[in-house]
Chain A
Amino acid sequence: MSFFLNYLIQAEIFSVMALSTNLLVGIIGIFSVSQAAIFGVGAYTVALLLLSKMLGFPAAIVVAVVLCAALNIVLALPSLRVAGDYFVVTSFGCQLVATAIFINWSQLTGGASGLVGIPTPAIFGYSTDEPAAFACVSTVILAISCLGFWLLMRSPFGRIVHAIRQDELAVAAAGKDVLRAKVSVAAVSGAFAGMAGGLYATYLSFIDPTSFDIGVSIIILTMLVVGGARTLAGSLVGPFLLLALPHGLDLIELSPTIVGPMRQLIYGALLIAFMMFRPQGIAGQRL
Chain B
Amino acid sequence: MPISPLLITASSMVNALGRGKEATLTALQNKTSGLSPSKELEFSTWIGQVEGVDEYALEDSLKQFNCRNNQLAKLALDTDNFRDAALEAKKKYGVDRVGLFLGSSTSGSGATETAYSQRDESGDLPENYDFMHTHNFTSLLDYCQQSLGLSGVGHVISTACSSSAKVFAAAHRHIEAGFCDAAIVGGVDTLTDISLYGFYSLQLTSTEPCRPYDENRDGISIGEAAGFALLETADNSSSSPTVALKGFGESSDAYHMSTPHPEGRGAARAIEQALTSAELSSSDISYVNLHGTATPSNDSAEDKAVTTIFGSKTPCSSTKGWTGHTLGAAGITEALICMLALQNQFMPANLNLVHLDPILNSNILLDNTKQEVTNILSNSFGFGGSNCSLILGLHP
Q: Do A and B bind each other?
A: no
Which residues from chain A sit less than 8 Å from chain B, CB to CB? none
Which residues from chain B sit less than 8 Å from chain A, CB to CB? none
